Amino acid sequence: MKVVVLLGPPGAGKGTVAEVLVDKGFKHISTGDLLREQIRLETPLGIEAKKLMDAGQFVRDDVVVGMIRDLMKDSGADAKFLFDGFPRTLVQAEKLDELIGSLGATIEHVVQLECPAESIVERLIGRRTCEKCGSVYHVTFNPPSNGDVCDVEGCALTQRADDTEETVRKRLEVYAERTAPLITYYEVAGLILKINADQPIVDVRADVVKALGKV
Ligand code: ADP
Ligand code: ADP
């Protein structure tokens, strides 16, 4: 089993980088996407999560860890997981270590995407996504080739409810307080690969693929 974690503030480009790693056989697991699916299905978990997500706050650790546990429990020895937006707190990081340890694996790399706050606000306000296939676009930096419909599915793109300037600023505060400490946690473990994410998408993707080498 191979496990790679994408770490970085909201809008750093985790989902955008994940798209190329999926082509290399990774199963992309975004806790944000999993939670939005629960919201779409109007499950009790989704209804609770929506209030927190719209306010830029985190969903409870036990809820997200439970989702990851369910996804990993029946995976084979050759599975390749790419985590995007998980772990986001020290408790989640410790639980992930326990979980993959119990499956006889360890984290191979933590790819840290570094991007300043000024770039992030502009990126998130212009983000558009396809609810059907999860493709991520930007009105200026990565527009779809055909008007405002998804290149893959041909359906209309949507803007996320939490991609407003006010909520983005709140999310950046929560990131600094609760997620940034994970950088030291993984540096101590010798797992961090730092990537400059404040450059054009093609260059960020190429740097990540190069840094990961043959994984
Ligand atoms: P972004 O990468 O733009 O921050 P995500 O789609 O990863 O967005 O997450 C959207 C929201 O979902 C977060 O702001 C948070 O409310 C919730 N969320 C996603 N992953 C987690 C997690 N691991 N722990 C707690 N909350 C999470
Ligand atoms: P995250 O998953 O970290 O929240 P996304 O991959 O969803 O980030 O990217 C956020 C927005 O920024 C999207 O609209 C995406 O098209 C755009 N984006 C991603 N990487 C870059 C980049 N290197 N330069 C400019 N825009 C980018």
Residue-wise pLDDT tens digits, 85-99 = 999 999 999 999 999
Question: CA 202, 204, 208: angle at the middle one, nearest 5?
Answer: 115
In the chain, domain spans: 2-115+179-212
Strand 2-7 to 80-84 pairing = parallel
| Position 84 pLDDT exceeds 90 | yes
Whole-number Å distance between alpha carbons of 7 and 111: 6
Q: Which of 136, 199, 205 to mutate to test the pocket of ligand 2 (most atoms within 8 A of CB)?
A: 136
Give me the pLDDT at residue 147, please. 84
Whole-number Å distance between alpha carbons of 91 and 97: 10
User: Which two three-digit tokens encode residue 188?
Assistant: 């101590």
- Do 146 and 42 form a contact (C-beta atoms < 8 A)? no
Number of alpha carbons in the 13 Å side-chain half-sphere of residue 213: 3
Residue 171 is a catalytic residue: yes
Q: Which ligand is nearest to the CA of 14?
A: 2
Model confidence pLDDT, tens digit, residues 95-148? 999 999 999 999 999 999 999 999 999 999 999 999 888 899 999 999 999 988
Mean pLDDT rounded to a whole number for the chain: 96
For the chain, the residue count is: 215
Domain 2-115+179-212: state its class: alpha beta
Model confidence pLDDT, tens digit, residues 34-56? 999 999 999 999 999 999 999 99
Residues with Cβ within 8 Å of residue 71, at least 6 apart in sequence: 29
Range 192-196 average pLDDT: 98
Ligand 2 centre distance from Cα of residue 77 (Å): 32
Ligand 1 centre distance from Cα of residue 112 (Å): 16
